[in-house]
Structure 1
Amino acid sequence: MGAYGSWRGQSFARQVTRVVGGWLLAAAMLAMLGFLLKPESVLSSARTRSASPSA
């Protein structure tokens, strides 16, 4: 992401874009990790609940 390089001479918009892009990447990675590490018991109960008839 270039956060540890020299920021000298770069526009403010470029700096903000890099910082926000880094945070969005980190948030997406954490969300994916949370989904992948979700316990199977939680997933299976959600599937059976949605598959049962509501009548």
Structure 2
Amino acid sequence: MDINKENYHNNSQENESTVHQNNKEQNRTISGINDISRSFWDEINNEINSNDVPLWRMWR
């Protein structure tokens, strides 16, 4: 393999690894946001179902 092809091959693998790592980080971030959102709405629904003062009324 000549040097240019070897450099291209190594850079390509490195870029692929970086993209894969970024995708994993993005998926982890999205998962965290979804967990927070889910727990937020669970809390709202618990307040409403228990006939307690809904949180949205306290925010006004």
TM-score bracket for the superposition, by shorter chain length? 0.5 to 0.7
**Aligned alpha-carbon RMSD (Å):** 1.9
Higher helix share: 2
Q: Does 1:40 align with 2:20?
A: no
Superposed structure 1 runs of 4+ greater than 2 Å apart: none
| Partner-residue secondary structure (3-state), 1:20 | helix
Looking at structure 2, the residues matched to 35 and 15 of structure 1 have their Cα atoms a distance apart, in angstroms, of 30
Looking at structure 2, the residues matched to 26 and 40 of structure 1 have their Cα atoms a distance apart, in angstroms, of 24
Unaligned runs of at least 5 residues, structure 2: 38-60
How many pairs are equivalent?
Answer: 34
- The structure having more radius of gyration, on CA atoms, is 2
Q: Which structure exhibits the higher relative contact order, with contacts defined as CA atoms closer than 8 Å and separated by 6 or more residues? A: 1
Instruction: Calculate the TM-score normalised by the size of structure 1.
Output: 0.55
